Structure 1
Amino acid sequence: MPRALILVLDSVGCGGAQDAALYGDAGADTLGHLAVACATGRGDRNGVRQGLLNAPNLDALGLGLVALASSGMMPPGFSLPAEPKALWGYGVECAQGKDTPSGHWEMAGAPALAPWGYFPKAAPCFPPKLTQALIAEGGLPGILGDCHAPGIEIIERLGAEHIRTGMPICYTSADSVFQIAAHEEHFGLERLYDLCKVARRLCDALAIGRVIARPFVGDARQGFVRTPRRKDFAIPPPPGNLLERVAQAGRAMASIGKVGDIFAHCFTGQEIKRDGNMAHFDATLEALRDLPDGGLIITNFLDFDTDFGHRRDIAGYAHCLEIFDSRMPELFAAMRPGDLAVISSDHGNDPTWTGTDHTREHAPILCFGPRVAGGPIGRRESFADIGASLAAHLELPATASGSSFLKAA
């Protein structure tokens, strides 16, 4: 019986969606702009990387072809392989927004059923009723922030006051999210998680997609640093997704990275969370080694987004993609004859773009395996075609949405 993997390169979009202007993202192109920046020296960093974006394994699968089809531009450093090793195309998100959960849910074959709720770009940005209830139920002296802000910047700005007052730092972004940052030692990690559970319940009525715990350490003199003990508290995903189909069939499932949080721990099987992309790549190879026939692995590679996209770090983003690419031969070698893997993304986060938020983009689709003959699958009108295709490959009932591209290949 075959096995399947979904590898989510978090935020590695491949060109602005047709409705990107609605989100202030007209012209955004994470992969294309990243490659151009590298070609013009903006991606150089001494001791880290320099020159053209170098991702030969992804290029051989057809990533350059994907970018050309999606954006109309061939990224510098990529090519037009005569015989790409993957089924290649790109997906258009049908759900509204540019959020992590909606992208993953749709990828799994069950798009978000209703629009997300968002907080306005105002200060304060949270409804007074929400703030008052959080303070009362959390036993807090108050909150800091109450605004749209980049996570690193607001912790640097308010970290010392947080320690002095005991008030957690609460903020949001262009995503449907309520984020709470607190010092692991002065506030307490478990206390932060408990507070986020209260906030999750209070945010349900507002249709806020995620409440995120953002623990950090440090002090005002040496600076503050976020720790890897972040935890997301998400709305449960829609029914009929691929994970649910796998669980209903009694198959094995491994959720690596923040996948368990994104799917609210619903049908997520064995959850594995480590620190960083390469640790998650190791975990993927280990899980694949032990995965029984008919099983599924979903891995989220978060560093692209959190460490480099939001921080608009071009060189870091390029290096991150190059390191991921260098590990691909290990995955190829670990796959069995009937295995099928899909590389895709949940949204964009163009490191050359203005601001610090996600960008509304197409998602690359590269579908490969030892027995897969490469070729185009074209523009897919929903990320859900990924879940539908893997459900077909695993011989499971169809997902709630999506059309298999395996039939057309």
Structure 2
Amino acid sequence: MARAILIVLDSVGCGGAGDAKVYGDEGADTLGHIAEACALGRGNRESLRRGPLNLPHLDALGLGHAIQASTGRAPPGFAMAEPSGQWGYGVETSRGKDTPSGHWEIAGTPVDFDWGYFPETIPAFPEALTAALIREGKLPGILANRHASGTTIIEEFGEESLRTGKPICYTSADSVLQIAAHEETFGLERLYELCRIARRLCDPLKIGRVIARPFVGRTAKDFARTPNRKDFAVPPPDGNLLQRAAQAGRATVSIGKIGDIFAHRDTGKEVKGKSNDDNVDLLLDALKAAPDGGLIFVNLVDFDTEWGHRRDVPGYAACLEAFDWRLAEIEAAMRPDDFCLITADHGNDPTFRGFDHTREHVPILAFGAGAPAGPIGARASLADIAETIAAKLALPKGSHGTTWPA
């Protein structure tokens, strides 16, 4: 029986979302704009990379064709040869451009409700929420209490947080409450416990995630976030691909943020590296051990957290090229009957205004297990991904999405 590998390149959108204007993202195109910037030399940085965007393995699978189908423009730097894989793009139907919405829809259960959001005011959080968090967390107070970029807010308030013992609480355009605190001085386990309190307090507000953002360093010049981030998400809807696999007794390996995104429900063996490269290593390990009928679900988050939110085009381009290089290793490690699908959960155009996710189509590339190469078209929902994988693994059908020949 086939095994399935589902790889989510976090935030690697391919532009063109029909409802982008509703989200303030009209014109965003993560992959297309990175390719254009690199072709014009704006994607160069001597210490990272130079020249046109170079993604030969993804290009061979059909990524350039997927981008062109989504946007109507052929991206520079792509050979656009006859693809060796299945290619197309997905249209997110969930009411949000956040990580849980994208991943849950990829897993077959679109978000059919409205998330709660915090307003772009100062303070951003309701007074009752702030008071309860301070009281239950036994805090001297909180800092920031507004929309912000995670790296800049730590630079701005990190020294005061060290001095006062107050954690830094902030949000974004996503349905999220983020809490940053010094990993050693405040304490990692204390930060996690504070986030558990915040998770409970945020439930009535329909906030999708509470995120622990530990950092180290002594001054604004050397503060750095650590790999010990932890997401506290609301539970996913019933009927998702992971649940179906678990109910069928299939072995599942969840790599990277997948366990957090799905609230550790039906996520099987959870492993998490410190970087994309670490998580690819864990994927290669899983390919050695996963039994027939198994599901390996991977999130590679560096595109989003390290480069997209920081609006760093050369860094994002180099990250794409690094994954492309390792894709050859993944293909080599697969068995003849394995099926691999690569997609994304939303966009995060590093050339766009602000520092938030962007509402975009996402590429879909698939190969292996006798899947016929060629176009799969525009998929009306990301739930088609789950249904195609479910069919490949002989799992029950879900309530959303349709399959394509795979």
The TM-score with structure 1 as length reference comes to 0.98
Q: Distance in 2 between matches of 1:279 and 1:384?
A: 28
Equivalent residues in 2 for 1:347-386, closer than 5 Å: 347-386=346-385
Aligned to 1:85, what secondary structure does the other structure show?
coil
Q: Distance in 2 between matches of 1:280 and 1:132?
A: 39
Q: Contact conserved, 1:122 with 1:147, CA < 8 A, in 2?
A: yes
Q: Distance in 2 between matches of 1:243 and 1:69?
A: 30
AA in 2 matched with 1:22: V
Q: What does residue 165 of structure 1 align with?
A: 164
Q: Distance in 2 between matches of 1:16 and 1:143?
A: 39
Q: What does residue 294 of structure 1 align with?
A: 293
Equivalent residues in 2 for 1:156-235, closer than 5 Å: 156-220=155-219, 222-235=221-234
How far is 1:222 from its partner?
A: 4.3
How far is 1:86 from its partner?
A: 1.2
Q: What does residue 238 of structure 2 align with?
A: 239
Q: What does residue 402 of structure 2 align with?
A: 403
Q: What does residue 87 of structure 1 align with?
A: 86
String of CA shifts for 1:28-74, please: whole Å, max 9, x gaps.
00000000000000011113211100000000000000000001111
Q: What does residue 69 of structure 1 align with?
A: 69
Aligned to 1:57, what secondary structure does the other structure show?
helix
Q: Distance in 1 between matches of 2:161 and 2:231?
A: 21
Q: Distance in 1 between matches of 2:372 and 2:378?
A: 18
Q: What does residue 153 of structure 1 align with?
A: 152
Q: Distance in 2 between matches of 1:22 and 1:223?
A: 38
Aligned to 1:18, what secondary structure does the other structure show?
coil
Q: Distance in 2 between matches of 1:316 and 1:222?
A: 20
How far is 1:267 from its partner?
A: 0.3
Q: Contact conserved, 1:92 with 1:383, CA < 8 A, in 2?
A: yes
Q: Distance in 2 between matches of 1:169 and 1:47?
A: 32
Deviates more, 1:327-336 or 1:295-304: 327-336
Q: What does residue 17 of structure 1 align with?
A: 17
Q: Contact conserved, 1:182 with 1:215, CA < 8 A, in 2?
A: yes
Show structure 1 runs of 5+ residues with no match: none
Q: Distance in 2 between matches of 1:321 and 1:227?
A: 22
Q: Contact conserved, 1:16 with 1:25, CA < 8 A, in 2?
A: no
Q: Distance in 2 between matches of 1:99 and 1:405?
A: 26
Q: What does residue 311 of structure 1 align with?
A: 310
Q: Contact conserved, 2:183 with 2:214, CA < 8 A, in 1?
A: yes
Q: Distance in 2 between matches of 1:116 and 1:336?
A: 40
Q: Contact conserved, 1:23 with 1:360, CA < 8 A, in 2?
A: yes
Aligned sequence identity (%): 63
AA in 2 matched with 1:279: D
How far is 1:405 from its partner?
A: 1.4
How far is 1:85 from its partner?
A: 1.4
Q: Distance in 2 between matches of 1:7 and 1:217?
A: 30
Q: Contact conserved, 2:2 with 2:369, CA < 8 A, in 1?
A: no
AA in 1 matched with 2:60: A
Question: Is 1:2–2:8 an aligned residue pair?
Answer: no
Q: What does residue 112 of structure 1 align with?
A: 111
| Count of aligned positions | 406
Q: Distance in 2 between matches of 1:16 and 1:119?
A: 27
Identify if the C-alpha distance between structure 1 residues 88 and 221 changes in structure 2 by more than 3 Å, giving closer, same or farther. closer
How far is 1:288 from its partner?
A: 1.0
AA in 1 matched with 2:95: Q
AA in 1 matched with 2:373: G
AA in 1 matched with 2:288: R
Q: What does residue 60 of structure 1 align with?
A: 60
Q: Contact conserved, 1:113 with 1:238, CA < 8 A, in 2?
A: no
String of CA shifts for 1:356-407, please: whole Å, max 9, x gaps.
000000010001115222111100111000001000100000123111112x
Q: What does residue 251 of structure 2 align with?
A: 252
Equivalent residues in 2 for 1:106-145, closer than 5 Å: 106-145=105-144
Q: Contact conserved, 1:257 with 1:300, CA < 8 A, in 2?
A: yes
Question: Is 1:31–2:62 an aligned residue pair?
Answer: no
Show structure 2 runs of 5+ residues with no match: none
AA in 1 matched with 2:47: G
Q: Distance in 2 between matches of 1:221 and 1:166?
A: 16
How far is 1:221 from its partner?
A: 6.1
Cα RMSD after superposing both structures = 0.9
The TM-score with structure 2 as length reference comes to 0.99
String of CA shifts for 1:198-250, please: whole Å, max 9, x gaps.
00000000000000000000011642100000000000001100000000000
Identify if the C-alpha distance between structure 1 residues 221 and 393 changes in structure 2 by more than 3 Å, giving closer, same or farther. closer
AA in 2 matched with 1:35: A
AA in 2 matched with 1:75: P
Q: Contact conserved, 2:109 with 2:383, CA < 8 A, in 1?
A: yes
Q: Contact conserved, 1:216 with 1:225, CA < 8 A, in 2?
A: yes
AA in 2 matched with 1:29: D
AA in 1 matched with 2:285: E
Q: Distance in 1 between matches of 2:217 and 2:257?
A: 24
How far is 1:124 from its partner?
A: 0.3
AA in 1 matched with 2:401: G
Aligned to 1:49, what secondary structure does the other structure show?
coil
How far is 1:87 from its partner?
A: 1.1
